[in-house]
Chain A
Amino acid sequence: MTHPTPRALVLVAGGTNCDRETILALERAGAAAERIHIQSLIDSPDKIFQYDLAVIPGGFTYGDDVAAGKILAIQIQHRLGDPFREFAASGRPILGICNGFQVLVKAGLLPDLAKEQKPQSVTLTSNDCGRFVCRWVRLKSCSPLSIFSAPGTHIEMPVAHAEGKLVAPPQVIEDLKLAKQIAYVYSDNTNPNGSIDDIAGLCDPTGHILGLMPHPERNVSWHHHPLWFRKTRLQKTSPCERAGEGMGIFQNMIQHCREKIS
């Protein structure tokens, strides 16, 4: 028996703070989303299999102490390693946004959870400016593997992070490019953090695990884009008719689940 509406697990821990708007975006895209605390998942790990997809939203889990996302990554690795691997291996989409991306990378779920001998091959570290940055960027979708966006799609959304610079040894970057795992790059000179080769997001080799620094859930509504006024008033359309460009990522993920369950 499958669910008519895909069920989304939104994983939270102390310091998660984008769960509310992520749930709203998921619901608007057609999922039934539930906020689940990491501790209740540790208490009953099998719960994860009640869901068709998982999202780790943005925030400052455990205060970003030691390094952003590190402590939640350790909890996932050491308390929930097997269920997470099984969940991912079953083809269910996993999306990590901002802090969630940092978690996926540091837990070794991205870029490739199959390579177990080297659990972490890339990292996300302090922005070049040394400070937290909140600004709008332009993304270009690059990977034909990704179920989240068609290659060549341009999407605008904001970043809000202090540790978003993607860094890896040159060979790893080359391998990721060859494997088409660079999911998004910052385009039009909007790289906000000094990421190598403007990388903003990565997917795994199957294309259904995605991590990205910018926040798609902050561009799903008419008013989210800061230039909505110019775009609509000048075109004499009602502003409220527009949905944000970030919505596509959620819709594609949910569509993928629907096709899979039906």
Chain B
Amino acid sequence: MTQTCQIEISMRAQWRSPEILPVRAALEQEKKIDKSEIRFVQVYMLEGNLSSSQIQRAAQELFTDPILHDFRIDEPFDFFGTRGRTITIARLPGVMDPAEGSILRALSDLSIDATRVRRARKYHFLDFPSDLDLSEFAAHHLANPLIEELTEGNCLGNAFPPSKTYTFRRIDIPLEGLSHSELESLSQQMGLALDGLEMSTIQQHFQSLGRAPTDAELETLAQTWSEHCKHKTLTGPIDFDGERIENLLRETVAKATRTLNCDWLVSVFVDNAGIIEFDSKHSLAIKVETHNHPSALEPYGGAGTGTGGVIRDILGCGLGARPILATDVFCVGPLETLQNEVPSGCHPPRRILREVVAGVRDYGNRMGIPTVSGAVHEHPSFLANPLVFCGTVGLMPTWAATKKIHPGDRIVVAGGRTGRDGIHGATFSSQRLDSESEVVSSGAVQIGDPITEKKVLDALLEARDLRLYSSLTDCGAGGLSSAIGEMGEQLGAEVHLDQVPLKYSGLSYDEIWISEAQERMVLAVPPDQMESLEAVFRRHEVEATDLGHFADHGKLQLFYEGQQVCDLEMSFLHDGLPQPLRVATHPQTPPSSETPTSYPKNDNKLLLGILGTTGVASKEWIIRQYDHEVQGRTVLGPLVGSALDGPSDATVVLPIDGSLRGAAIACGGNPHLGQLDPYQMAAHAVDEALRNVVSVGADPDRICILDNFSWADTRRPEELGSLVLAARACHDTALAYRTPFVSGKDSLNNEFLTESGVRIAIPPTLIITSLGIVPDASRTISMDWKSAEDRVYLIGSTKPGLGGSHLHLKCGITGGSVPILDPKKARQIFLAVYEAIQTGLLASCHDLSEGGLAVAAAESALAGRLGAQLDLSVLEQETGLDVTTLLWSESPSRFLVSCPPESARSFETLFSRLKIPHHLLGKVTRGDSLQIRDSSGSPRIQLTLESVREAWQGRLEVLN
């Protein structure tokens, strides 16, 4: 007989329960004096034909650690009697909990036949502050009501709601006779995110066929035509102040790649990732995705599935690559913002950053992929629209870089099961967020299951090397509809949706088709390989299910229980999208607040302040949570210097065991420049991404880059105009640097409408990721100063303009001009730095970015635990610039290097011969002091390393 039981596990009082730490921090944050005692209880609810001895064994042998825990069966812990209060939190039914599968597995190993398991957690408080609402406190700090149910007290409503059943009924959506506005409201009602023109194109198409579309057909069109999948803004016609652009992407980013025509590119812009040649036998695949909207609503799940998704892009490019590293960039609002200061429907930035880090951590670490590179940017306009960029690099034999589907190949879905999670993610991410998004889009939130994806990875790469499939792609936005729709574009496909393995019953054919349940791949398998493929996947405990086949009839045909529910022409699906002309105009720069004639004189205070800003400060709090050493490939990690706490410009890994050929990865981007000058913002992002990898030894002729445009609503001509300018900067700089773009991804609707109707739009933000080849990784150098007496040089030209600099940020100045990039000169500088590193002339090399020279010097000093005596007087004379600009300018294409005294002459000879601007600033000293003097001889900066380190290291502790 089926019964349920509830097993409670609690840490004995003498041990420390890790779950309590964040609760204490939250209570402190609410500014309550925390006298409250807190106890945490983990709850496991089991359902099945269970004897009491089985339940006892489950509690004792599986759930309890004999050293740490006490347990109770069907009797809640009561720690505090009448003075206690309890909150119980559990995932909503239907929300993924990856632990359930592992627990069922362990129970079966213990010969305990549970049919279902569900977890919950309880927090017991003694003397909870009476002026604080417990449920509200829990919703703000301990749970996310979007995916979890919270109950005050001990009981959880219905632990195992009865499963729903589904009875097939084909649903037709009549469009005939509907007006433009009726079509628009139908689209909105169904959550399709199609506009009136697109809806009427569909209406006409089905009118000509003489029938109504089914819900599955409309959904398929909505997914495929979504901004997320089709990039219609970047690839559609634009009127830019009278100038016609047919296809922005093709005329800018992709054009640069085409013009450069580098012979080491293997596959660009066509697959799930860009692929470049690594050595004669191997290639590297790279992709960076945005996962902004899901991360705004459910930061942990959003960032986790963002990571999982981009890993699948790498698994699904060509015939699959092995992920060897991951990257992440986060853009958040000011970390000081409190819950009551954020717009309704948003989480405070601190919570967002803490949880997106945890999301990336738990996914990447469990997959065994080192997260080695990243950045954090802070800007008030990211308050309601945080940005999350997740990237992955993979290694593949070059033969696996191409794929081809043959008619008759079986369509196989492999990996996790399909549930109701993530429905409408693709269309949702193409819309603006507002305070209601949290309510209406809860289905769009996904939770990842990294262990399932790890098993898929293991099975897939084994099957790849046995050449058991002819093509594959990942199930991302749009689920099966996008994956199979894309794969079958040139042929046609026949799919039987009732074959798809489900997490639970009750899903309609339409839900199965568009579900964005994670950890799934779609493979095209020659019929005679099916048996071998199934055996490989079975061995890795991964489900692989035959859903149908690719057919040479040009149609997408779906069936459920033998009944046809979709019959779409592939040509209409992929080419039927109307191409409206979008209007763009040159953006106006924001009104410049008065640029002061003199800046604050206290440069010491400025430096300490800038070192403590989120963009500059140490990211050690984040980096140490990532397993950045797994796979054992790291040559230069994200933390460097004598105490391993300095900020590396880039990371270098060895993709091939036993070879010295390395790969360097880094990123660039500065949202503070976007509103001032979108063209220069983009040019600077490219330059920063390149100089980061160049400063660790990457060959400037072997670097590829990726773009991630995150913009506000580009239906506004000015926003679209700034996007055009940024894309043109990408083209111009890529061409001048001879650095091809290989892939990219955009996210174009990053705005939030508050309840009171205020629009919060993000600044134009371009993140560039760079992947470069380091021919001999043993030549790699780091950014920390190495020895006293080493000479310190500034390489590159400092230019006027402090707009968007961290100096302005600190002084509250919003306007100003951005220093102009000279990409031709920059390339010469990069080549010279490369040569200096290759010939072993340098002891350290650090790029100048946020905070300019002062910050770069401070970072090299604190990382090396060495001081310096630097002098700007020669620089002042030669450039004619004031000391403020010399200290704080964020002019691009500059490096701060140190050089052993015996190499100084060779260094100067090399740079003079190449006509590269370089200035000797002084030397590294053994002492504990960083000193920078101006021409008057007085120190503008005079700080102890201790104070520098303190200012730089504490920032992210606010996340504790």
B98:A125 contact, CB within 8 angstroms: no
Stretch at the interface among A126-134, A145-153, A179-187, A198-206: A126-134
Quick one: which of A74, A224, A230 contacts B110, CB cutoff 8 A? A74
Given contacts A71-B105, A125-B68, A230-B786, contact A134 B628 (CB under 8 A): yes
B541:A14 contact, CB within 8 angstroms: yes
B102:A20 contact, CB within 8 angstroms: no
Binary per-residue interface labels of chain A (221-241) against chain B in the complex, 1 for a CB within 8 Å, 0 otherwise: 111101101100110001110
Closest to A158 in B: B629
- Complexed CA–CA distance, A97 and B685 (Å): 41
- Complexed CA–CA distance, A133 and B547 (Å): 43
Chain A residue numbers with a CB within 8 Å of B640 are 226
Given contacts A37-B539, A60-B366, A132-B365, contact A167 B67 (CB under 8 A): yes
- Given A65-B99, A223-B635, 12 new contacts (CB under 8 A): A37-B540, A62-B451, A64-B366, A65-B103, A66-B106, A71-B109, A127-B18, A132-B361, A132-B624, A134-B627, A223-B777, A233-B843
- Complexed CA–CA distance, A206 and B91 (Å): 47
Binary per-residue interface labels of chain A (105-138) against chain B in the complex, 1 for a CB within 8 Å, 0 otherwise: 0100000000000001111011110111111100
Chain B residue numbers with a CB within 8 Å of A229 are 636, 780-782
* Interchain Cβ contacts under 8 Å between A and B, 15 examples: A18-B630, A21-B632, A39-B541, A62-B451, A63-B451, A71-B103, A122-B67, A125-B15, A130-B21, A132-B361, A132-B365, A160-B627, A227-B642, A230-B642, A240-B778
Chain B residue numbers with a CB within 8 Å of A220 are 632
B634:A78 contact, CB within 8 angstroms: no
Quick one: which of A20, A70, A75, A238 contacts B778, CB cutoff 8 A? A238
- Complexed CA–CA distance, A40 and B538 (Å): 11
Binary per-residue interface labels of chain B (47-75) against chain A in the complex, 1 for a CB within 8 Å, 0 otherwise: 00000000000000111011110000000
A224:B367 contact, CB within 8 angstroms: no
A24:B657 contact, CB within 8 angstroms: yes
Closest to A27 in B: B657
- A110 CB → nearest B CB, Å: 13
Binary per-residue interface labels of chain B (61-101) against chain A in the complex, 1 for a CB within 8 Å, 0 otherwise: 11101111000000000000000000000000000001100
- B139 CB → nearest A CB, Å: 21
Does A89 touch B at the CB level, under 8 Å?
no
Binary per-residue interface labels of chain B (12-38) against chain A in the complex, 1 for a CB within 8 Å, 0 otherwise: 000111100110000000000000000
Binary per-residue interface labels of chain B (99-141) against chain A in the complex, 1 for a CB within 8 Å, 0 otherwise: 1001101100110000000000000000000000000000000
A134:B624 contact, CB within 8 angstroms: yes
Does B654 touch A at the CB level, under 8 Å?
yes
B539:A168 contact, CB within 8 angstroms: no
- A47 CB → nearest B CB, Å: 14
Given contacts A37-B539, A63-B366, A65-B103, contact A14 B18 (CB under 8 A): no
A66:B631 contact, CB within 8 angstroms: no
Q: Which residue, B18, B22, B98, B367, has most C-beta atoms of chain A within 10 A?
A: B18
Given contacts A66-B103, A223-B777, contact A135 B22 (CB under 8 A): no
Does A4 touch B at the CB level, under 8 Å?
no
Chain B residue numbers with a CB within 8 Å of A71 are 62, 102-103, 105-106, 109
Closest to B777 in A: A223
A20:B631 contact, CB within 8 angstroms: yes
**Interfacial residues, chain B to chain A (CB-CB below 8 A):** 15-18, 21-22, 61-63, 65-68, 98-99, 102-103, 105-106, 109-110, 361, 365-368, 449-452, 454-455, 539-541, 623-632, 634-637, 639-640, 642, 644, 654, 657, 660, 777-778, 780-782, 786-787, 843
Closest to B627 in A: A160
A63:B98 contact, CB within 8 angstroms: yes
B625:A224 contact, CB within 8 angstroms: no
Chain A residue numbers with a CB within 8 Å of B103 are 65-66, 71
Q: How many A-B residue pairs have CB under 8 A?
A: 163
Does A79 touch B at the CB level, under 8 Å?
yes
Chain A residue numbers with a CB within 8 Å of B15 are 125, 167
- Complexed CA–CA distance, A60 and B110 (Å): 20
Quick one: which of B65, B624, B780 contacts A67, CB cutoff 8 A? B65
- Complexed CA–CA distance, A152 and B635 (Å): 28
Does A215 touch B at the CB level, under 8 Å?
yes
Chain B residue numbers with a CB within 8 Å of A133 are 624-625
- Complexed CA–CA distance, A230 and B368 (Å): 28
- Complexed CA–CA distance, A126 and B18 (Å): 6
- A151 CB → nearest B CB, Å: 27
B62:A66 contact, CB within 8 angstroms: yes
Chain A residue numbers with a CB within 8 Å of B644 are 135-136, 226-227
Does A96 touch B at the CB level, under 8 Å?
no
Does A245 touch B at the CB level, under 8 Å?
no
Quick one: which of B16, B63, B454, B777 contacts A14, CB cutoff 8 A? B454
B654:A223 contact, CB within 8 angstroms: yes
The 6 closest A-B pairs by CB, nearest first: A17-B368, A126-B18, A65-B99, A21-B632, A65-B102, A62-B102
- Complexed CA–CA distance, A224 and B634 (Å): 6
A239:B778 contact, CB within 8 angstroms: yes
- B54 CB → nearest A CB, Å: 14
Closest to A59 in B: B368
- Complexed CA–CA distance, A17 and B625 (Å): 17
- A70 CB → nearest B CB, Å: 7
Chain B residue numbers with a CB within 8 Å of A224 are 632, 634
- A243 CB → nearest B CB, Å: 13
- Complexed CA–CA distance, A229 and B632 (Å): 16
B106:A221 contact, CB within 8 angstroms: no
Binary per-residue interface labels of chain A (50-84) against chain B in the complex, 1 for a CB within 8 Å, 0 otherwise: 00000000111011111100110011001100000
Binary per-residue interface labels of chain A (184-215) against chain B in the complex, 1 for a CB within 8 Å, 0 otherwise: 00000000000000000000000000000001
